[in-house]
Amino acid sequence: MFAGRHFLSFGFTSLGHRQVTECSAYHEESIMTEDRYYAVRMLWVRDDEIWQSYQEMAKPVLARHDVRVEHWLETDKIVGEGMDKPDLIVVTSYPSRAALEAFESDPDFKKASMLRDTSAKLLTVTARSGLP
């Protein structure tokens, strides 16, 4: 569907629905069978303009640390008492847990993450692959 790496951003249609407008860190084929470290992020976007600025700032940092966007999902519904449906779910992968920590410690990412934290509420779960 998408060739090479693409960074994903979104906009709104005339009906107010989110849509993917550009892709630049998504892989054309699933690689979730590789032995990588994963982060699943649920996002509740509060400010689309600042969110887009965050994505542009983060793009070169993702590439520098071999961060892969495995899946970019717009949520349909959520089941759970007292849970608000997130706008987006993003699954990213890293070569290792140490690579994730290096990415998150990168000074350029720390600058970008200030925009992310201003523009969206975030919940992150990390996990390793390779379970039997």
User: Does residue 39 fall inside a structural domain?
Assistant: yes
Residues ≥6 apart with Cβ < 8 Å to 113? 54, 58, 104
User: Does residue 93 fall inside a structural domain?
Assistant: yes
Phi, psi for residue 17 in degrees, rounded to 5: -90, 140
User: Does residue 61 fall inside a structural domain?
Assistant: yes
**Tens digits of residue pLDDT in 68-127:** 999 999 999 888 888 899 999 999 999 999 999 999 999 999 999 999 999 999 999 999
Instruction: Confirm if 67 and 16 have CB atoms less than 8 A apart.
Output: no
User: Does residue 38 fall inside a structural domain?
Assistant: yes
User: Does residue 2 fall inside a structural domain?
Assistant: no
pLDDT at site 11: 42
| CATH number of the domain encompassing residue 43 | 3.30.70.100
Give the Å distances, CA to CA, from 108 to 55, 96, 114. 12, 20, 10
Instruction: For residue 93, list its beta bridge partners.
Output: 38, 68
**Tens digits of residue pLDDT in 12-61:** 433 344 444 444 444 444 444 568 999 999 999 999 999 999 999 999 99
Range of the domain at 119: 33-128
Report which of residues 66 and 26 the model is more confident about.
66
User: Does residue 40 fall inside a structural domain?
Assistant: yes
Give the Å distances, CA to CA, from 13 to 18, 49, 58, 79, 97. 6, 15, 24, 26, 37
User: Does residue 21 fall inside a structural domain?
Assistant: no
Total tally of structural domains belonging to the chain: 1
User: Does residue 48 fall inside a structural domain?
Assistant: yes
